Amino acid sequence: MTQQIETTQAPAFELILAPSVSSGLTEGAARNRRAIEAAYRAMIAGDQGALFALLAVDVEFHEASSLPYGGSFSGLEGARAGVVGMFSAWSHLRVEIEELVAGGDLVIVYLWMRATARATGEVYEGPTAELFRFKDGKISEWRPIYWDTHRVRQVCALS
């Protein structure tokens, strides 16, 4: 049974499925997922550069501009600067990875983040995702996506 949604107050709405939606878990997607998982496992074992080893030289790193360390960064040094900016906001950061999913050229990491703001000592806690887009076996795009950027701004004393 299909449920109908009352549309008298709904905005104009378009839903478009890109052709890549049906590509699913190809061998390439599975390989990309394994690469991200291996990098995270290497980081747990002490290799903090493992994820950076997967980055393409022309990688694009994007944090929401509303974050205290937000912005878009290009290239390896740009991505490193973006990550350093993020780490500089927190005195303690705990990330618990719940799931890695892959399809097409994307790997999405769903995680729970708990971070203590360096500026205030207040804690941000909530779900976060990291989107990694691969091209030729390397990460070409990296986007951390926070559930509540407003709360991040609050604990960092920006709101």
- CATH number listed for the domain at residues 24-155: 3.10.450.50
Q: Report residue 72 as tokens.
A: 């878009």
* pLDDT classification of 2: cutoffs 50, 70, 90: low
Lay out the sheet containing 123-135: strands in order across.
71-74, 55-63, 138-146, 123-135, 106-117, 90-103
Hey, which bits of the chain come out as E strands?
55-63, 71-74, 90-103, 106-117, 123-135, 138-146
Residue 7's pLDDT band (cuts 50, 70, 90): low
Alpha-carbon distance of 45 to 8, in angstroms, equals 55
Two structure tokens written together for 14: 């378009």
Task: Tell whether the model's pLDDT for residue 152 goes beyond 90.
Answer: yes
Q: Give the residue among 156, 75, 97 at the shortest CA–CA distance from 121.
A: 156
Distance CA 47, CA 145 (A): 24
- At residue 34, the pLDDT reads 95
pLDDT of 48-82, one tens digit each?
899 999 999 999 999 999 998 999 999 999 999 99
Residue 90 confidence (pLDDT)? 94
Identity of the residue numbered 82: G
Give CA–CA dist 23/87, Å, rounded.
35
Per-residue pLDDT tens for 24-37?
788 999 999 999 99
Res 6: pLDDT: 63
- Give the closest residue to 37 by CA, choosing from 50, 56, 26, 24: 50
As a whole number, the mean pLDDT across the chain is 91
Which pair of tokens denotes residue 45?
């074992």
Share of the chain above pLDDT 70, in %: 94
What is the rounded radius of gyration, in angstroms, for the C-alpha atoms of the chain?
Answer: 18
